[in-house]
Amino acid sequence: MRLGISRISGFYKLPPNARLESIAEKAELSREEVSWIEQGLEINQANMMVENVIGIFQVPLGIATNFVIDGREVLIPMATEEPSVIAAASNGAKMARGAGGFSTSSTGPIMRAQIQATGVPDPFGARQEILQHKDELIEAANEKDPMLVKFGGGVKDIEASVIESRLGPMLIVQLIVDCRDAMGANAVNTMAETLAPRIEELSNGKVYLRIISNLADKRLARAKAIFKANDIGGADVVNGILQAAALAEVDPYRAATHNKGIMNGATAVVLATGNDTRAVEAGAHAYAAVGGKYRSLTRYEKNGNGNIVGTIEMPVAVGLVGGATRVHPVAKANVKILGVKSADELSRIIAAVGLAQNFAALRALVSEGIQKGHMSLHAKNIAVQAGASCDLVDIISARMAAERRISVDRAVELIRELGDKKN
């Protein structure tokens, strides 16, 4: 274990190149890996990733500090355009350190693919027919991906159900696939397409859809942390957080914002590792609504010592192979910084980051309010928007934060004032 590496005091005060040097040393990055981060994605690499490429859209990459996850110090690369997200994640992780940080678990990397058979004359009879041919179907699907099978993955089970729709009953066959270190969408879609003709034969129906489900309820990642009352501002803050969490459990208007806060952290790590942000977000929000009502993905309770027990459970379908994960040079360097060895471990880290992010936001919301910290970090953006030159951005944002008047109007005034002084 790399002891204490995520606790870097004064990290935020360093210039970007010194921060990178510090991370390179702690994560044992080679010179080549450092250059991947410095240079970023190149146009010829981008041109191999998507269609009709004309350029590269960049997003800031930062490191959240203070994370201890399952007893291991972890540096968290986060790609995000939003100010205060990385600071808040680091702050949430710091508040969890007092009681040992985050502990995690998961259900494993299992995805579902759906095959939709329509116009089946006897859907319940067809369902049984499919289940009777389960072994044959599993074998045929697994033949399509010997590499996945070699790593211990592949189709593990087949489920079938009759779903009533407004166009009548449909037979839905689901492949339950262990994707190991892949996110798995391409892998399971290929398997579903392979089986479709045989499903048509067995069901006497017509297959249209044959694709992954992003409601990855068999690929759940969980994290838990205890936040000590003394570390977070005392009993009133504890009560405030419990009140806020209780509202998010029952009110979808609040739950949407609560979960957005979780995804501020989760999505930033998903993006930084070259994974599919839309897949993870679709899964998270679908899972939040799985009981028929949209609800928060975290729970907060008070334990016998008056401390907060925070927990999160959400689907996190991410990979270390496949998609862009091994193509994007910065994603590859970020995986090295994280020190993860499996997609499952990455998913659990993402859940822990979601919990830290959510907790930090709740703590700020029920105490000083979210805007104080957020706006002072956003002040630089405001100064740039107002037209401040590079050498004035820091001075103007610091002035606005000190005055607690963070607005474009004030920035314009200060540009005029300081610009005049300079001339």
Q: Does residue number 181 form part of the binding site for ligand NAD (CB under 6 A)?
A: yes
Name residues contacting ligand NAD, limited to 5-44 (CB under 6 A).
none
Where does this chain touch ligand NAD (CB under 6 A) — which range of 45-53, 129-137, 175-183, 368-376?
Answer: 175-183
Instruction: With H, G, I as helix, E, B as strand and everything else as coil, classify residue 58.
Output: coil
CB-based closest residue to ligand NAD: 322
> Binding residues for ligand NAD, how many (CB under 6 A)?
23
Give the burial class of 320: count Cβ atoms within 10 A of its Cβ; 0-12 exposed, 13-18 middle, 19 or more buried.
buried
Q: Does residue number 186 form part of the binding site for ligand NAD (CB under 6 A)?
A: yes
Name residues contacting ligand NAD, limited to 318-337 (CB under 6 A).
319, 321-323
Name residues contacting ligand NAD, limited to 187-246 (CB under 6 A).
187, 189, 212, 214
Among 123, 153, 154, 310, binds ligand NAD (CB under 6 A): 153
CA nearest to 190, candidates 154, 159, 144, 225: 144
| DSSP secondary structure letters along 309-355 | EEEEEEE----SBSTTTTT-HHHHHHHHHHT--SHHHHHHHHHHHHH
Written as six digits, the tokens of 333 are 């360097």
Q: Does residue number 110 form part of the binding site for ligand NAD (CB under 6 A)?
A: no
277-297 burial code (b ≥16 CB/10 A, e <16) = bebbbbbbbbbbeeeeebbbb
Q: How many C-beta atoms lie closer than 10 Å to residue 404's C-beta?
A: 10
Q: Which of 33, 178, 276, 345 is catalytic?
A: 276
Q: Is 285 a catalytic residue?
A: no
Q: How far is the CB of 57 from ligand NAD (least distance, A)?
A: 17
Give the burial class of 132: count Cβ atoms within 10 A of its Cβ; 0-12 exposed, 13-18 middle, 19 or more buried.
exposed
Q: Does residue number 353 form part of the binding site for ligand NAD (CB under 6 A)?
A: no
Q: Which residues contact 310 (CB under 8 A, 6 or more apart)?
A: 96, 224, 225, 226, 227, 298, 299, 300, 355, 358, 359
Q: Does residue number 148 form part of the binding site for ligand NAD (CB under 6 A)?
A: yes
Q: How far is the CB of 77 from ligand NAD (least distance, A)?
A: 19
Q: How far is the CB of 139 from ligand NAD (least distance, A)?
A: 17
Give, in order, the Cα–Cα distances in Å from 209 to each of 127, 165, 171, 177, 212. 17, 15, 11, 17, 10
Pairing of strands 220-227, 298-302: unpaired
Q: How far is the CB of 53 from ligand NAD (least distance, A)?
A: 16
Q: Is 313 a catalytic residue?
A: no
C-alpha to C-alpha distance for 98 and 271, rounded to whole angstroms: 29
Q: Is 144 a catalytic residue?
A: no
Q: How far is the CB of 123 from ligand NAD (least distance, A)?
A: 26
Where does this chain touch ligand NAD (CB under 6 A) — which range of 131-139, 173-181, 196-204, 308-316?
Answer: 173-181
Q: Which of 144, 156, 228, 260 is catalytic?
A: 260
Where does this chain touch ligand NAD (CB under 6 A) — which range of 56-64, 177-185, 360-368, 397-405?
Answer: 177-185
C-beta of residue 317 within 8 angstroms of C-beta of residue 267: no
Among 279, 318, 330, 337, binds ligand NAD (CB under 6 A): 279
CA nearest to 195, candidates 156, 142, 137: 137
C-alpha to C-alpha distance for 343 and 287, rounded to whole angstroms: 20
Among 33, 276, 344, 345, binds ligand NAD (CB under 6 A): 276
Q: How many C-beta atoms lie closer than 10 Å to residue 243's C-beta?
A: 12
Q: Does residue number 151 form part of the binding site for ligand NAD (CB under 6 A)?
A: yes
Q: Does residue number 283 form part of the binding site for ligand NAD (CB under 6 A)?
A: no
Where on the chain is the footprint of ligand NAD (CB under 6 A)?
145, 147-148, 151, 153, 179-187, 189, 212, 214, 276, 279, 319, 321-323
Q: Which residues are catalytic?
A: 82, 260, 276, 374
